[in-house]
Chains A and B, each alone.
Chain A
Amino acid sequence: MKPALTPEPSARAPLLELRRVSKRFGSLVAVEELSLALQPGEIFGLLGPNGAGKTTLLRMSVDLLRPDSGEVLLLGGAPCGEALERIGYLPEERGLPTRARVLNLLTYLGELKGMTREDSRQQARSLLRRMELDVRERSRVGELSKGNQQKVQLASALMGNPQVLLIDEPFNGLDPVNRSLAIELLKERVAAGKAVLISTHQLQHVEQLCHRLLLLNRGRVLLEGEVDAVRRSHADGSILVSGTGDFGSLPGVERWTAAAQGNGQAPIRLFLRSGVTPDAILQQVVERRLSLRSFAPHVPTLEEIFVRAVERARA
């Protein structure tokens, strides 16, 4: 379930703001005139096909790359010095020094975030305990399984209790149990007023977790807004119906998918003629006394929207 927005995002200043930023690599436009504002207490989904400019955007947010034009504001100021200490960053192509011992590495990363050695070690232990990795705190990173290394990576991003988390594909390599644990950890941060920016291809996570999203393609914004609003706005007026009876022959139904004869199992998607409303169809179902189990407007999945939007942009 999507975490509640705490507090109301618009009520506070954005923690991370990109104002019309552009970045080119030679003739390649990585990001063009992009604006984004990450509010406290929200999870923001950054979507886009490979090469869309997501990594460039994340790198500009943490000052690993400087934009050619536009402005990046982190906690209201330039992304440098102490502001960067309050960022948790998890790059996509990630790796940790394989020789390093887990606890020592996390303590070190905490120190780099401005924590004292003692506080950092304490927080590292606490995170490892939470991630059920406390028994491996003396292990070298290279000795851990891929999933456990991924958990250490996530812990490294959480060190220093950052205000803003920028994470690229955070659930890669995690089994369902550990994925739930990771989601829980992120939700806790959001509940405490932190902001999370997730870049991912796993769109079901965006639907589950994110309040808002931004879809990029070739450095340009294709879509943005609240996840539910985006989905609703891409609805085509079709209806999902499940029940028993000949739904396909109802007046006003132009075409349908799956079997026209409802057998009470999988829902049927009914595409309506122009000007016909779902209410009119429901009226006919009642009049014909068809057995109806469910009746709802079809809202497209993010995956459908993503594929459609990218294909349209490429065309």
Chain B
Amino acid sequence: MRKILAVARYEFIGAITRLGYLLTLIGMPLFVGCLIAVTSLATVRSATESLAKKRSIGIVDESGLFASAPDSIETELMPDLGRIRSADIALRVRRTELRRFGSLKEAHLALQRGEVASIIRIPTDYLTSGKLQEYVGPKREFELASGQISAGSLLRPWLVRGLLKGRVDAETGDRAAEPAKIERLVIDPTGAVAPADLIREVRPLIVPIGFAMLLLLSVFTSASYLATALAEEKQNRALELLLTSLTADQLFWGKLLGLWAAALLQFVFYLGLVAVPAAFAFAALGLNIAQAMVGICYFVLGFFFFGAVLLTVGAIGNTQKYTQQLSAVCTLTGVLPMMVLTPLLSQPRGALARTLTYIPFTAPITGLLRFGADALPWWEFVISVLVLTISSGLVIRFCGRIFRVALLATGTTPKLGQLWQWLRTG
């Protein structure tokens, strides 16, 4: 045990002082935070700028149908955001002026002078053809193609109101312009009805997804690193020196524990950095002990499983390149549930979700996601944990055998037949 702990401590210190580990540990939250902030800001800014550019739109109404239509449009911007920040009216509503021109030539001059962002020409046959023309200045084609708010879409309610004005009452005109504001209601199992709340729906998934991301991050960084480091040690025969002082089993367990400790530190760091402050700031997140326990259970078992598999990959590989390729295949199987996240969450009790719950490679992430979606019955959780525990035990046992023999095998990369032989003789 003393030697196992010595190896574990050495591997732990080696792992956590690695630049890649430190960059991942500290850089990842910064990167993710910055990414979320930048993309959110960019989205809001893009929409705001797009509207700002259209503060004034030229109208050439050749049809005469809209002579008495209003001279401005009010657009609600990002209603969800507006709800959260209801006080910030400036963000919520944008007013666009509609400037009328008697001729297209006159409007073109205004566009060239930058007095209007674009021109909408309503031809004489609009009522029968339904066609409008939007004129924009040069270098604006991409903006239109990229799907930013176009003058045409901004004008749609205005056109409807204009067409119906005088023919129907104002209220009917409003409904025709904006036919529905659907309010989603949710009936819970007790029969209580409450407005649908996106945040409340996502909330139970936050902790499981957090655990899943942590597991993947640890497997991708620490375990993959250990596999390639082991391949390097094997390649330069440093392992031969170590194996005269301790057994392959001691080395295997020491490395696995050291690796696990490094992953645990990563986990605790993120928990302290993100989850705890978040729990205080958003008490509504509803973190509960059950979620944390299930998360920790899957995290520990999943990490031991992937750790053992990747250690064996490191022992088998004779070059770092080969080891990296093989590690990538193994870790990708772990990511599979994230790749099929949409069908998994839309049908968390479906055949796909159930199957992935019982496969050791995909069980940790699938189990976590299904638990978050409240679609993991206790008996499925027990089976899944049992499968993972037994397969982790078997993997550790069989990988330990291969590990023992493979560590000293150099030269060509072993084939399946040779692996089978090692498994039997190791």
Contact = CB atoms under 8 A, between A and B. Distances in A.
A156 B237 contact: no
B237 A108 contact: no
Given A64-B240, A89-B240, A104-B10, 15 more contacts: A62-B244, A87-B244, A89-B244, A90-B241, A93-B237, A94-B238, A95-B235, A96-B236, A96-B238, A97-B238, A98-B236, A104-B13, A108-B6, A111-B6, A112-B245
Nearest to B245: A112
Contacts of A85: 245
A95 B233 CA distance: 8
B10 A108 contact: yes
A113 B245 CA distance: 6
A94 B237 contact: yes
Given A64-B408, A97-B232, A91 B10 contact: no
A100 interface: yes
Contacts of B6: 108, 111-112
Nearest to B10: A108
B246 interface: yes
A167 to B, nearest CB: 12
A99 B238 contact: no
B245 A109 contact: yes
Interface in A51-98: 59, 62-65, 84-85, 87, 89-91, 93-98
Contacts of B241: 89-91, 94, 96, 109, 156
Interface of B: 3, 6-7, 10, 13-14, 18, 229, 232-233, 235-238, 240-246, 408
B236 A95 contact: yes
Nearest to B13: A104
A84 B245 contact: yes
A137 B26 CA distance: 29
15 contacts: A59-B240, A62-B244, A63-B244, A65-B408, A87-B244, A90-B241, A94-B241, A95-B235, A97-B232, A97-B233, A98-B236, A111-B3, A112-B7, A112-B242, A112-B246
Contacts of B235: 95
A146 to B, nearest CB: 13
Given A84-B244, A109-B241, A156-B241, A99 B236 contact: no
A91 B3 contact: no
B406 to A, nearest CB: 13
A248 to B, nearest CB: 54
A210 B323 CA distance: 43
B247 to A, nearest CB: 8
Most buried by A among B10, B13, B240, B244: B244
Nearest to A156: B241
A95 B237 contact: yes
A172 B6 CA distance: 31
Nearest to B247: A80
Most buried by B among A62, A96, A109, A112: A112
Contacts of A87: 244
A176 to B, nearest CB: 26
Contacts of A156: 241
Interface string A100-123: 100010001101110000000000
A64 B244 contact: yes
Contacts of A112: 3, 6-7, 242, 245-246
A179 to B, nearest CB: 21
Given A64-B408, A100-B14, A111-B6, A95 B245 contact: no
Nearest to A159: B245
A173 B236 CA distance: 16
A193 to B, nearest CB: 21
Contacts of B240: 59, 64, 89, 91, 94
Nearest to A63: B244
B244 A99 contact: no
A64 B410 CA distance: 14
Contacts of B229: 97
A106 B6 CA distance: 13
A96 B408 CA distance: 15
A94 B408 contact: no
A89 B245 CA distance: 9
Nearest to B233: A97
Nearest to B251: A112
A114 B3 CA distance: 8
Contacts of B238: 94-97
A108 B6 CA distance: 7
Contacts of A109: 241-242, 245
A113 B238 CA distance: 15
Contacts of B246: 112
Contacts of B10: 104, 108
B245 A64 contact: no
Nearest to B246: A112
Nearest to B11: A108
Nearest to A100: B14
Most buried by A among B235, B236, B408: B236
A100 B17 CA distance: 10
A112 B10 CA distance: 11
B156 to A, nearest CB: 63
Given A64-B408, A97-B232, A108-B10, A91 B242 contact: no
A134 to B, nearest CB: 21
